[in-house]
Structure formats: C-alpha cells, structure tokens
Amino acid sequence: MVTVQEDAQLRGIPFSEVIFDSTGKRVLACNPKNETNARVLKQISSVLDEVMARLNAPESAIQGIPRINEVSSHFEDLIRELLNKTPGLACDFRRRLQVETQRSGYPDLELVDQLSHRVYYLDPKLYAVGSRDSSFRTFYFEPKIATNKVREDAVHFIVGFEHEKPAADRQWKFTRWDLVDLSHFQVKLKAEFQGSNRDMYRPEAIVATSGKGLE
C-alpha cells in the first residue's frame, strides 16, 4: 500500500549539490573581487545594457510579438552575438549531450573567458514587473544524462530581464536586468505522479469509443 502525503516536497536543496550529484561538476561561486570575475562581469554588464537598449527600440524585432514566451529566444540570440563580439570571450548555445539539435533545457548559454579558460553558464529569464516575489515555478532542472548540458565546473548565472506589461500596440519595454549567482541557490523537489497518452490510451483499457469503434 502506498501512503501519499499531499503536497509532498523536498525543500531547501542546494542547487550546487543537485548539479554535482547529477553531473559530477561543481558550481563555482562568483567572487566579484577576483580579477577574472571582475573583468568578465564588466564585459557581461556592458553587453546586457546593449541587449536591453536594442530590444527596447521601436524597430526591434520583438516589438509586436504577442507572447513573452516568443520573445525569450531573441534575448538568447542577441546575448550570444554580442558576447562573441567582445574581445577575449567566446559564447555559444549549450547543447544537450545526446540531443544536439535542441536548445531547450538548462543552461542556455556557455561563456568561456579565453584568457583564464573559466566557464560561465548563462540562462536568460524574462519576468513581469511586480512578479519578483512570485512563488510560481520559473526555474527547473532535470538531472538526466541524455539531456545534460552541464559539462564543466563553472559559474552559473541567471540573467533576469524585467518587463512592463505591453500596451495595446504590443510594444515591449524592459526596465532592468539582474545577473544572479546560483552558487547559493536552493531548489525544491516536488513529488508528482505522471502518465503519458501511451499509458492512458491502451487498447485493453478503452471500454467505449466513437464512430466505427462501436460497430
């Protein structure tokens, strides 16, 4: 007999431990006083300022896009493009180990400082003004070998861009960005029973159906 507790969760789990246990790689803290970190932070900050300015422009490709989920890829693409144009930095999409063509999943971007060879993972997130304290899920990580994109000891950053709700003309306005160090980030694991369509629609389980199925 299975005993189920409603809303069963494991809380306060260090994200760094999740990464190490599932990938064998360390989440490095970003000390801003470190010479390499200070230089790279300054370069990233300059790029993020330019990203926000460009995408806020009236002629930007994102203006008129109805859904914020459709805007995020433009941020990823532009961040990658501008970081690659920054002397001494190389940035690319972090690919899955066994699914090379898919960009989904954590993290989105891998930045390498070519002088020190230090690796920084960047994962852009967009959120609405007033939702910084929301308890809704905005981050997830699946510890699966096939979808693993964490392959180096690295600094892990969330790049958060705040936006106002678009007006009737669907013009987006981004108001701030934050670079968040995930070395002390804590996550939750929620117990959830799942099933697929294949699990549900088994021929032996169907007791009635439409049309010819009833003949």
The DSSP string of 27-43 is EE---TTSHHHHHHHHH
- The band of 87, judged by pLDDT with boundaries at 50, 70 and 90, is very high
What pLDDT, in 10s, does the model give residues 168-195?
Answer: 667 899 999 999 999 999 998 877 778 8
Q: Give CA–CA dist 123/19, Å, rounded.
A: 15
The arithmetic mean of pLDDT across residues 23-44, rounded, is 96
Closest by Cα among 184, 124, 110 to 153:
110
Find out whether 130 and 116 touch, Cβ atoms under 8 Å: no
Per-residue pLDDT, 62: 93
Per-residue pLDDT, 69: 87
Per-residue pLDDT, 105: 80
Residue 91 has pLDDT above 90, yes or no: yes
Q: Give CA–CA dist 18/20, Å, rounded.
A: 6
Find out whether 27 and 182 touch, Cβ atoms under 8 Å: yes
Q: Give CA–CA dist 107/94, Å, rounded.
A: 7
Q: Give CA–CA dist 8/23, Å, rounded.
A: 25
Q: What is the DSSP pairing of strand 109-113 with strand 119-128?
A: antiparallel
